[in-house]
Structure 1
Amino acid sequence: MTIISNIWLNLLSVVGTFIIIYMVFIIIFYSIMLIISLFHLRKEFQLDDQEPYEELLTLNYTKPISILVPAYNESIGINGSIRSLLGIEYPEFEVIVINDGSTDDTLEKLKTSFNLIKLNKVIRKQISTKEIEAVYQSSIYPNLYVVDKVNGGKADALNAGINFSQYPYFCSMDGDSILERDAFLKVMKPIIESDDEIIASGGSIRIANGCEIESGEIVKIRLSQRPLVVLQIIEYLRAFLMGRVGLSRHNLLLIVSGAFGVFSKHWVVQAGGYSHTVGEDMELVVRLHRMIKERKLNKKIVYVPDPVCWTEAPESITYLRRQRSRWHRGLFESLWTHRQLFFNPKYGSIGFVSMPYFIFIEFLGPVIELLGYLFMVISLFIGGIYIEYAILIFLISILYGSIFSMAAVLLEEWSLRKFPRVKDVIILFLFSLTESLWYRPLTVLWRCEGIFHLIIRKKGWGEMIRKGVSNDHA
């Protein structure tokens, strides 16, 4: 028994040491990302950015854009979202709503609200999709179209929208999202100025729960009173302002959010459109990177921090758990589909930096963190030197979680300043201190649950109930 006990204790020591080394490495990595983001954001916002964006409204080389809105049972918030899109500041655009076989009154609400008239139009099928049942155009807004099709999932709906679109760039958006009026000017600016070098550009996603929204426009930015939502806001700030800014700086970005991203239609069609995976947005970006490297093209995919899209976040643990589990499954599907990129010299920094980052930090990170939590619990019963291990892991987890979240809140206030009330910034700052104590362990469990679902081959999105981000539901 003594030999077995010694082996067990030695194994525990090895596990504890590994967890500590891993978490220290993560802290160093994110510290570097924070520094890169800090300098990049200050460099961007030292400029007077109002005049350049207004100038884009009159330039004849500003590229027209098709806005694709896949909608499946989005009756609650669809009208507010569409009105938000129709009111954007941009010279030339079309809004294409793809009703993906909704079983609620989404289509009827669109017909009534926007006076839709049926069109007889042949659609060029560049990408294979489910059958199109009807196409409508608004008699009130000539640049608003609705494509009604057989249900095929979000990727299929987006592919149908690409087939129908007439402009060289398209934006994929969620049906429950609200755009700031100048968001497209900002997200398109690097594309316009790059002379086609940039083939995709993504903006920031913020949480609209708690904000006052009228006629599809943000009237007042306010925090939700629900702690679960506030912690999601902090999580989004950290992911976008620290993670994506740092990766985008060196063309290492593998994710452009499906809620707000602009793509060159030519290159997306060349890549085969969206795939039928849980994480179709990430998989497309990885495939574009892969195509760029294989064809030895000088193309970039970037993240632009300032253009903001506001979207609804889950307010209950049940739906947030489903979302995070699904996201983790989608992450694995994208990484597994393109596993040949991993440490492959042919793909340069994507193979040697981006893929290892998403595999070892984003995908396997929750497993290591869960081991850390289990180690701390076991150490309380064993005692001795293992208590010191547990304390060290706990302190590192606080630094890893809460401190970086606090830094993201300060970075937001220092650069973008989307939250006008000092009270809101203070609340975000204080909540970020508590993240490692309850919210982060929950997300770790949910992401590990996603890995378990992969093992048992669970499919599908899972039901998500929305309240609608806009008060304009009529």
Structure 2
Amino acid sequence: MPELETLALGVVRFAETIAWAVIATGLAQNALYLYQLLLAARALAQAPPVNQAALLWRRYAEAAPPITLMAPAYNEALTIVESVRSLLALQYPHFEVVVVNDGSKDETLQVLIDAFELHPVERHYDLAASCQRIRGLYAAANQPRLLVVDKENGGKADALNAAINLSRSPIVCSMDADSLLEVDALLRAVAPFVEDPERTVAVGGTIRIANGCKISFGRVIEVGVPKNMLARLQTIEYLRAFLMARLAWSRISALTIISGAFGLFRRQAVLDVGGYSHGTVGEDMELVVKLHKHYRRLGKPYRIAFTPEPVCWTEAPETMAVLSRQRARWHRGALETFVRHRDMILNPRYGRIGIVGFGHILVVDVLGPIIEIFGYVLIPAFWLLGVLDIEYLWALLAVTFGFGIVISVGALALEETELRRFPNARSLAVLMGAAILENFGYRQINNFWRLRGTWQFLTGAQGWGKMTRKGFSSQT
């Protein structure tokens, strides 16, 4: 039966091709992660963070430019007061806080009015960046640094544009209304603007998980490990994403994203590229890419940096339903930016951003989830059917689990070696277990969520989805 033998041989070759494609993609991704880990370790070793707040003040306070903190708020009544108190207590010489109530349907505006004794005010501003109608401005005599903007709903990008229009500072800081900044975070984050004022246009800082920490009056007073397993796994994820990946890409001038939860931007640079773009849930990444494109086209020197020590604390989702919506949205935002700026993909005109930055997005975000899911399903299926030898299955498992554990544990080791934020050996042991455990199920589920984000992008889905939070007052 030569026809059957030919067919069988064809099936085997097809299965082997699929297997090698999956394994090669996995090796490429993990090689990138390992490269990031080494770059980040070198960067931290060469420029360790300054630990003393007093030294930071002496070094940067005199030359530090004024900053406007922009906090968009939509249905944030549960956490908004703690967040604003945290912002007003920051150690920085000249700053203002602009909270934008983006048409909330809950009591966000009213709790702000009650907590800070706000009253209506007038303030001149230009509509330099596009935003929905501003319904009113509120301020308080006893809080001269605070301005609350009430506007019609337009989404986060729209709210940030409104804050930029009302800003009176050369540097603006975008953040989430449900986040808490450490008291010296601005002094640390502004360092690149002080040290390299001509070139620096944007700086990002580290985001950490507040779940499990003790919080009082808008400050993290004791770092802890989350009791909730999902939040614990996200703690490792955040270490890997910020302390490793973003520090590494900043090191080689290929950083494509600054988190919307905490990032500093030169106001005029943001206006030069039209402000935040509407119609995307990835407005933070899209703005950074626009800045890269703008300065590359002009041929002007610029710098977009990441500093590991300015810490912003955020509440992580503790249920699968909320976390899945968040991750699908994040992935959809990355794909939206990738497609909007597809002319940059592997384009030498845009230097390392086009080659390394967009090449990384192509391999990890666009192709990665699809190929990984194919591997998880097809390679075990082919092995069970007797089409593939056991060596292919072992190779997939080694790439998936072996490299994953090395990268996750490496990121945790980097944190403990250089920053030492976690209080005791028990906390590190618990997180070590999470660093290992996340590779056995959690990473795979994440890929399904990312595929969901791909489907939402392809079908033109819009919106953020409901994000339920416990609130900082309950974090212990």
> Above 0.5 in TM-score?
yes
Q: Quick one: distance in 2 between partners of 1:102 and 1:428?
A: 37
Which of residues 6, 23, 35 is equivalent to 1:3?
A: 6
Amino acid at match of 1:246: A
Which of residues 336, 339, 345 is equivalent to 1:333?
A: 336
Q: Shift of the alpha carbon at 1:5?
A: 3.1
2:258 equivalent in structure 1:
256
Amino acid at match of 1:122: H
Q: Shift of the alpha carbon at 1:251?
A: 1.2
Q: Quick one: distance in 2 between partners of 1:116 and 1:102?
A: 17
Amino acid at match of 2:378: F
Q: CA separation of 1:451/1:408 partners in 2, compared to 1, >3 Å: closer, same or farther?
A: same
- Partner SS, residue 288 of structure 1: helix
Matches within 5 A, 1:31-430: 31-45=34-48, 50-56=53-59, 58-59=61-62, 61-276=63-278, 277-383=280-386, 385-430=388-433
Q: Specify every segment of 5 or more residues in structure 2 that has no aligned partner in the other structure, as ranges.
A: none
Q: CA separation of 1:68/1:345 partners in 2, compared to 1, >3 Å: closer, same or farther?
A: same
Q: Quick one: distance in 1 between partners of 2:368 and 2:295?
A: 28
1:457 equivalent in structure 2:
460
* Contact 1:401–1:440 (CA under 8 A) maintained in structure 2: no
Amino acid at match of 1:400: F
Q: Quick one: distance in 2 between partners of 1:47 and 1:259?
A: 22
Q: CA separation of 1:98/1:399 partners in 2, compared to 1, >3 Å: closer, same or farther?
A: same
* Contact 2:19–2:379 (CA under 8 A) maintained in structure 1: no
* Contact 1:326–1:450 (CA under 8 A) maintained in structure 2: yes
Amino acid at match of 2:38: I
Deviation string 1:398-432 (CA, Å, 9 cap, x unpaired) is 12322200100111101111111211111111111
Q: Shift of the alpha carbon at 1:140?
A: 2.0
Q: Quick one: distance in 2 between partners of 1:8 and 1:187?
A: 56
2:32 equivalent in structure 1:
29
* Contact 1:279–1:331 (CA under 8 A) maintained in structure 2: yes
Q: Quick one: distance in 2 between partners of 1:128 and 1:433?
A: 46
Q: Quick one: distance in 1 between partners of 2:13 and 2:60?
A: 67
Amino acid at match of 2:242: F
Q: CA separation of 1:209/1:375 partners in 2, compared to 1, >3 Å: closer, same or farther?
A: same
* Contact 1:90–1:184 (CA under 8 A) maintained in structure 2: yes
Q: CA separation of 1:40/1:57 partners in 2, compared to 1, >3 Å: closer, same or farther?
A: closer
Deviation string 1:347-391 (CA, Å, 9 cap, x unpaired) is 111111111111112332111211121133303422374322011
- Partner SS, residue 221 of structure 2: strand
Amino acid at match of 2:453: G
- Partner SS, residue 438 of structure 1: helix
Q: Quick one: distance in 2 between partners of 1:259 and 1:148?
A: 20
Q: Specify every segment of 5 or more residues in structure 1 that has no aligned partner in the other structure, as ranges.
A: none
Q: Shift of the alpha carbon at 1:293?
A: 0.2
* Contact 1:179–1:309 (CA under 8 A) maintained in structure 2: yes
- Partner SS, residue 113 of structure 2: helix
- Partner SS, residue 118 of structure 1: strand
Q: TM-score, normalised by structure 2?
A: 0.96
* Contact 1:169–1:265 (CA under 8 A) maintained in structure 2: yes
Which of residues 10, 13, 25 is equivalent to 2:16?
A: 13
Q: Quick one: distance in 2 between partners of 1:173 and 1:331?
A: 18
Q: Give percent identity, aligned residues only.
A: 40
- Partner SS, residue 403 of structure 1: helix
Q: Quick one: distance in 1 between partners of 2:175 and 2:474?
A: 19
Q: Shift of the alpha carbon at 1:58?
A: 4.4
Q: Quick one: distance in 1 between partners of 2:138 and 2:5?
A: 77
CA RMSD of aligned residues (A): 1.5
Moved more, 160-169 or 235-244: 235-244
Amino acid at match of 1:358: I
- Partner SS, residue 106 of structure 2: coil
Q: Shift of the alpha carbon at 1:106?
A: 0.4
* Contact 1:205–1:308 (CA under 8 A) maintained in structure 2: yes
